[in-house]
């Protein structure tokens, strides 16, 4: 009984307003009502990416949008420079390799973001693109994209900048145009508060002009952008998810993007205060790089993160994110993004506090109180 | 953003499973599919009331079910004995008077339940019925129905026992048959986790046999009970709310009524521990009479309960119950009933703790912690 | 598979837009968001009744609104003049009698509306009210309310005029104020395209001023009208059905009431053309009195209407209205009201044509064609 | 007002049961509840494809599933033999060419299915695969897959057989295993009665064993099939559409697949009878090859199909399929698949009959009658 707390870093709690929108009857995707919906949507999407240019919408997971970014811009055998910030940056690189690209990986400790200085040191003439994950969902660490861009610009290098905003989009400040990003990868089930099933590419003019030769059909931007001009798609679009997307965009506009970002920052700070009051450690090691959408907690030695997660799921009906890859068993992740507010955070942290105690993890009890104090001061 | 916390003592948070059930297309209320629905429903309702006899379902609010209990059993000018346990018992008496009955009211201080001893002292030959509110929604005080019945039985008096279970039904233990209740009044929007719009009368055999002469048509039990035997109603029933009722009854069966009651008791105790840790007072003055479905808090002198409630609504998006009648401004009420769980309670109490601090009410900070400790120990 | 055709004369096919509105989470009925909803609703309701005065909204079936009209205006033992136009007018009279009123019934043949001339002949000094059903749901016959009013006015008699618009409201032209009606009775599940569960009384100033002495509490207009001024109700209102009501009223405004009425008239005429082309007879015997919301068909002698209805339900998944009271087995009723359009009518009449043929009823085949021809000409 | 008739050959009318399922809250795609859902789904999918082997589920449109079939099985520069049966077969070939394959296209007149004799004549040693569209959505012509397979077997050629069942799946008989298909391509928004957003590959053992070398990552079967064994996906699956898929599969099981196929055949025959009675021509020129899910009508010379379609959309609120590619303006297509029944077909054909008359197309009037007669005889 009672509502499940879905506090993984995505999919996030879908607002019932959005769920009801998704339940509208499907319509003819070649008719005038659809065209109106599509045009409205495509316009409303742009501010979320901070772009005046095209945003391409795919019926796909975020993984599909990763692939789209690569196959549209790169050619077989080209080199890319990428940063190991965690599990998802690693997966993206593995995808690039499978598609026939050569990946130069800047190694990382999974507790820091991409290092702008590495650009200066490592970006070489034959790199066609730089791949960065803005907010690494496996670690809760944010990379400083503007500094990466500055470092690239300082080299005068023409490489494209490809950025994954899977778990930061619509939760953390992001400016595709202003920050000089060429392709931004996003998806529906995180800050956009939708079920999974939509992937995005925001496409800057340089990326659109410099197309690679990797084979592509489904992911090809050109026919989509061309059809979008008339309000249509070259394939059957995921109409019902688009209904939800429109509703979610309206909700974000109603709150205001700056307010949305501030809300996420405040909840993230409250969560970190709870973690510290429990005497535990946040995985992110650089104060400049905390994620606003999720927090990864390091478990004390000898305590299994997944055992605690399972207990919390069973006893308190809350889903938390598991430790991925090399972090398995050592961290768990609290998602505090999307359709979320102070009392949902109070419930979430209450569940973590009770769960850690019940699992025998040696914590101090004041975590929730510390978070409430911060929330109350800043409310 | 985020979900509203609807923590008034009803309407309660409707499970989305129930909301989806309510959104099913309406069907012919005279057709075979409806008859199947109705028969299933009427069977599933009985255990919730603790009865093997008929439960009459009205398209009405709970107030309508109050009226039905009176006009079916009583005659113009008859006397009834009633207990002033709070605002709603008072309203029920006013209704009785408006319908032409004479009400002898046992006065009360709104901090105690109905006093069984008063039955012995005051029940006289010309009382046709005793009216008691099982769980007074305005105060969070539970009356001890079995002791009332025992006191009535001890007098050998044939008066009917009419009991309001508006805010206890499906949240607190209740046994219409075993406790010797003649008419039980209930409604949909509290422990049954439905929107408002359905009223109930559980009708014992003695009540069915001794019918009053107050004029009645809409509320008359007889044509309803007769039509129900075939799975129909003499009027157009509220089909979509009945869909929801079926779903809610299935959910209660899945959890098990004893577990449902235990959950409510546990959340009520956790709430009282929070209140005491804040240094505040629970309105209910008798340990035997605490409500499991709501808790009323007395505000310290000089602090306005409604000012705190407004701040909590505005800042934390949580609705709490206002002080009613003579308690206006002096108490607010926390609903912890229906579709509710530990983390929702943690969020609720977090909101109250922050709100009281923000409103400048002098409390100690440990309320949420005290509740979490109790929840964790008993989880 | 495929959608059920719910072609009884109510409940009608609820638009999915309305069903989704009903599935919104329930809110605090004493909070500011509710007050806004209620005020908007109550304003939007008035044009549907053709009134500038109050419309009282009950959590009830239409039957409840019948009772409300009587107990608010009449006193025990008073006489009322009523017209036997069919099954529902008869039921309303039975209710009046059970409530202690004396009913003078003008007999009818169930094929004609109320006869204005009878007013002149039969309205006597001790009649406190005239009760008329505007659109008799059991027969598909419309009574001419303005002519009834004229006849009453011609006598100079002060009797109140109480009109049932259960199956005409929001489907057929109706003007509470202009036609001089004192109390209009309505409900949700017909032209208003909602599930059952709401009853209405539109209350004219004369009715409000001349209150009867029948006992009343739940149905009493005064506390409701008083609370409505602030956007509230003296009881817990059926919030989720009110969400649906708002949505339905918006839909009616979008189409425009004159267009709504014209649509119903056109579908009714198309249906009658089908009936005649089949060689069958419409029950309504006066061309001036055809209902726009339903059509009752007389079966040829020796053919059972309910057998045909059952076959149509089983084979074609369409619900039609049964013959009620003295018309049982002799007629069935086609509802063509509410959320309905040309192609739904084509499907409905297709089902009737196939069903009658399959049931061995001797009809000519051109009914659907005749309806399509009319629809096409007038589209 | 009234329901829109969505009679394009997909997306089809989504049952409200499925829409409500889709509106359930999203859950953790790595948790135990999801694993249970996924395992159930993947089992229930198999009979729909007529396979005991794996069905791979993609968050994609049907186009994506086309691409998946190609990139998993073929290598750059390989030759495939394909049949020009209409617009969609052409698009699939264009995709193959863009992905670096060499397509030998057997030309067609868009009025016949793939010719099995062409296999014998044209299949040569260097063909790696044969691509056939089972039911060409642009023409309403069904290709005879078993005869194609027989012709391939007769040559002893090891080429893979790739079949598109986009608009036949769950509407027309199809047997992946028995017919010897190697890869079957499907999607959600046609016979499966879901919104768009899911693509399928049913993968036979030979296809799984003989993998091509086209670059692939998102579409790669192997990690998906491996993760599916545990009830998970290597990417975030489209959870809410999967809820709908489960519900749709349950509905298909309730009706029974043989009954589903028979229903579609019967509606298709009724539609053809209407077309002929109107004096018009069905596009499909071979009696053995009629589609059960859609019917394409040839317009008389001098009459524009799109003008009639627009009129029908505007006046009767029904969407019909446009003529695609070389058929633009010359045909329109009636979808009669998915969540559909006799009365919906009566409404659909009524709308076409009225629309053609209103558009001034010279037809005879008896189309609807001819369809009703057939439906009634065979009901």
How confident is the model over B110-118, as a mean pLDDT?
Answer: 97
Q: Is D310 on the interface with A (CB under 8 A)?
A: no
Other C-beta atoms within 10 Å of A303: how many? 17
Contact B341 A251 (CB under 8 A): no
What single-letter DSSP state applies at residue A327?
G
φ, ψ dihedrals at C274, nearest 5°: -65, -45
CA A258 to chain centre: 17
Residues in chain A: 379
Q: Is A24 on the interface with B (CB under 8 A)?
A: no
φ, ψ dihedrals at B72, nearest 5°: -80, -25
CA atoms within 13 A on the CB side of C269: 15
Q: With a cut of 70, which residues of chain D have pLDDT below it? A: none
Chain B residues with beta carbon closer than 8 angstroms to that of D16 = 23-25
| A131 sits in which H/E element | strand A127-133
Spell out the residues 6+ positions from residue C222 whose beta carbon is closer than 8 angstroms to its own.
Answer: none
Contact A20 C25 (CB under 8 A): no
Closest approach of chain A CAs to the CA of B190, in angstroms? 14
Residue A352: which pLDDT band, with cuts at 50, 70 and 90? Answer: very high
Chain A residues with beta carbon closer than 8 angstroms to that of B379 = 315-316, 354, 358
Spell out the residues 6+ positions from residue B110 whose beta carbon is closer than 8 angstroms to its own.
Answer: B84, B85, B86, B87, B136, B138, B139, B141, B283, B326, B327
- pLDDT at site A379: 86
The chain A residue lying nearest C26, using CA atoms, is A16
Chain C residues with beta carbon closer than 8 angstroms to that of A23 = 16, 20
φ, ψ dihedrals at B47, nearest 5°: -60, -30
Q: Which of C16, C24, C25 sits opposite A25 (nearest CB)?
A: C16
CB A86 within 8 A of CB A237: no
Q: Which two tokens stand for residue C24?
A: 């919104």
Other C-beta atoms within 10 Å of B287: how many? 8
Closest approach of chain D CAs to the CA of A161, in angstroms? 21
Closest approach of chain D CAs to the CA of C41, in angstroms? 20
Closest approach of chain B CAs to the CA of C147, in angstroms? 30
Contact D195 A99 (CB under 8 A): no
ipTM over 0.85: yes
CA–CA distance, A191 with A167 (Å, rounded to integer): 7
Q: Is A297 on the interface with B (CB under 8 A)?
A: no
- D295-312 pLDDT, tens digit each: 999 999 999 999 999 999
The chain C residue lying nearest B322, using CA atoms, is C30
> Which residues of D line the annotated binding site for substrate?
333
- Tell me if residue B251 falls in helix, strand or coil: helix
The answer to whether the bond into A63 is cis (omega within 30° of 0) is no
Q: Is D255 on the interface with C (CB under 8 A)?
A: yes
Exposed (0-12), middle (13-18) or buried (19+): which is A102, by Cβ within 10 Å?
Answer: middle
Alpha helix positions (H), B169-238: 205-209, 221-228
Chain D residues with beta carbon closer than 8 angstroms to that of B23 = 16, 20
φ, ψ dihedrals at B276, nearest 5°: -70, -40
Size of interface C-D (CB pairs under 8 A): 133
CB D367 within 8 A of CB D352: yes
Which residue, among A15, A20, A26, would best test binding to C if mutated, counting the most C CBs under 10 Å from its CB?
A: A20
The yes-or-no verdict on residue B135 having pLDDT over 90 is yes
CA–CA distance, C125 with C79 (Å, rounded to integer): 10
Residues forming beta bridges with residue A135, ordered by sequence position: A142
Q: Which two tokens stand for residue C172?
A: 């057929």
Contact A344 B2 (CB under 8 A): yes
- pLDDT at site C28: 97
> Which residues of C line the annotated binding site for substrate?
333
Q: Helix, strand, coil: what percent of chain B each, to 5? A: 45, 15, 40
Contact B99 C215 (CB under 8 A): yes
Exposed (0-12), middle (13-18) or buried (19+): which is A126, by Cβ within 10 Å?
Answer: exposed
Closest approach of chain B CAs to the CA of A349, in angstroms? 9
- pLDDT at site B13: 98
Q: With a cut of 50, which residues of chain C have pLDDT below it? A: none
CB D334 within 8 A of CB D321: yes
The answer to whether the bond into A11 is cis (omega within 30° of 0) is yes
Chain D residues with beta carbon closer than 8 angstroms to that of A214 = 215
What single-letter DSSP state applies at residue D56?
E
CB D62 within 8 A of CB D199: yes
Contact D354 C372 (CB under 8 A): yes
CB B192 within 8 A of CB C54: no
- Furthest CA-CA distance within chain A: 61
CA–CA distance, B45 with B47 (Å, rounded to integer): 6
CA–CA distance, A368 with A270 (Å, rounded to integer): 9
φ, ψ dihedrals at D280, nearest 5°: -105, 175
Q: Is D23 on the interface with B (CB under 8 A)?
A: yes
- pLDDT at site C379: 86
User: Which DSSP string do the residues of D353-376 spell out, in sequence order?
Assistant: HHHHHHTT----TTHHHHHHHHHH
CA atoms within 13 A on the CB side of A38: 28
Q: Which of D23, D59, D239 sits opposite A20 (nearest CB)?
A: D23
Q: Which two tokens stand for residue A100?
A: 């026939």
CA–CA distance, D20 with B21 (Å, rounded to integer): 8
Residue A20: which pLDDT band, with cuts at 50, 70 and 90? Answer: very high
- Using a CB cutoff of 8 Å and minimum separation of 24, what contacts does D252-261 make? D252/D48, D252/D170, D252/D192, D253/D44, D255/C1, D257/D47, D257/D48, D257/D170, D260/C1, D260/D170, D260/D171, D260/D191, D261/D171, D261/D172, D261/D173, D261/D292
How confident is the model over B75-85, as a mean pLDDT?
Answer: 98
Full set of structural domains in chain D with CATH: 5-11+256-378 (3.90.1150.10), 16-254 (3.40.640.10)
Residues forming beta bridges with residue C24, ordered by sequence position: none
- Chain D contact partners (≥3 CB pairs within 8 A): A, B, C
CA–CA distance, A196 with A60 (Å, rounded to integer): 8
Q: Which two tokens stand for residue A219?
A: 């992911």
Q: Is B23 on the interface with D (CB under 8 A)?
A: yes
- C199-236 pLDDT, tens digit each: 999 999 999 998 999 999 999 999 999 999 999 999 99
Closest approach of chain A CAs to the CA of D167, in angstroms? 13
CA–CA distance, A258 with A253 (Å, rounded to integer): 10
Q: Nearest Cα to B254, choosing from B44, B12, B11, B50?
A: B44
CA–CA distance, A288 with A116 (Å, rounded to integer): 13
CA–CA distance, B109 with B112 (Å, rounded to integer): 7
The yes-or-no verdict on residue B379 having pLDDT over 90 is no
Size of interface A-C (CB pairs under 8 A): 11
CA–CA distance, C378 with C267 (Å, rounded to integer): 10
Q: Which two tokens stand for residue B227?
A: 């039509």
User: Which DSSP string do the residues of C250-315 spell out, in sequence order?
Assistant: HHHHHH-HHHHHHHHHHHHHHHHHHHHHTT-EES---GGGB-SSEEEEEPPTT--HHHHHHHHHHH
Which residue, among B13, B16, B18, B20, would best test binding to D if mutated, counting the most D CBs under 10 Å from its CB?
A: B20
Which residue, among B259, B346, B374, would best test binding to A if mutated, counting the most A CBs under 10 Å from its CB?
A: B346
- Chain B contact partners (≥3 CB pairs within 8 A): A, C, D
CA atoms within 13 A on the CB side of A240: 34
Size of interface A-D (CB pairs under 8 A): 187
- pLDDT at site B322: 97
Alpha helix positions (H), C104-203: 116-122, 145-155
Q: Nearest Cα to B296, choosing from B262, B318, B273, B321?
A: B321
- pLDDT at site C170: 98
> Would you say A3 is a known binding-site residue?
no
| A127 sits in which H/E element | strand A127-133
- C270-328 pLDDT, tens digit each: 999 999 999 999 999 999 999 999 999 999 999 999 999 999 999 999 999 999 999 99
How confident is the model over B138-145, as a mean pLDDT?
Answer: 98
């Amino acid at each position: 009984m009672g509502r499940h707390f879905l506090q993984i870093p995505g999919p996030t709690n879908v607002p019932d307003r959005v769920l009801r929108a998704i339940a509208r009857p499907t319509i003819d995707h070649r008719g005038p009502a659809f065209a109106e919906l599509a045009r409205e949507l495509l316009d409303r999407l742009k501010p979320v990416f901070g772009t005046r240019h095209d945003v391409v919408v795919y019926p796909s997971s975020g993984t599909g949008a990763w692939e789209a970014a690569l196959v549209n811009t790169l050619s077989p055998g080209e080199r890319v420079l990428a940063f190991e910030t965690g599990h998802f940056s690693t997966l993206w690189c593995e995808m690039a390799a499978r598609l026939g690209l050569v990946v130069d990986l800047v190694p990382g400790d999974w507790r820091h973001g991409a290092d702008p200085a590495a650009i200066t040191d490592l970006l070489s003439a034959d790199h066609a693109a730089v791949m960065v994950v803005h907010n690494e969902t496996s670690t809760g660490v944010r990379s400083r994209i503007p500094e990466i861009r500055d470092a690239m610009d300082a080299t005068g290098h023409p490489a494209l900048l490809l950025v994954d905003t899977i778990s930061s989009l619509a939760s953390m400040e992001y400016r595709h145009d202003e920050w000089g990003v060429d392709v931004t990868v996003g998806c529906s089930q995180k800050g956009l508060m939708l079920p999974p099933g939509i992937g995005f590419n925001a496409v800057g003019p340089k990326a659109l002009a410099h197309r690679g030769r990797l084979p592509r059909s489904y992911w090809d931007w050109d026919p989509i952008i061309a059809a979008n001009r008339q309000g249509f798609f070259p394939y059957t679009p995921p109409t019902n998810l688009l209904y939800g997307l429109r509703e979610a965009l309206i909700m974000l506009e109603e709150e205001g993007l700056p307010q949305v970002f501030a809300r996420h920052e405040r909840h993230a700070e409250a969560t970190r205060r709870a973690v510290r009051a429990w005497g535990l450690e946040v995985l992110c090691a650089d104060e400049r790089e905390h994620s606003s959408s999720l927090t990864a907690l390091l478990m004390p030695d000898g305590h299994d993160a997944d055992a605690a997660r399972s207990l919390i799921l069973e006893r308190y009906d809350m889903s938390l994110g598991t430790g991925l890859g090399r972090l398995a068993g050592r961290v768990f992740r609290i998602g505090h993004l999307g359709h979320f507010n102070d009392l949902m955070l109070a419930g979430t942290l209450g569940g973590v506090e009770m769960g850690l105690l019940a699992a025998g993890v040696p914590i101090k009890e004041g975590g929730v109180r510390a978070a409430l104090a911060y929330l109350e001061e800043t409310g």
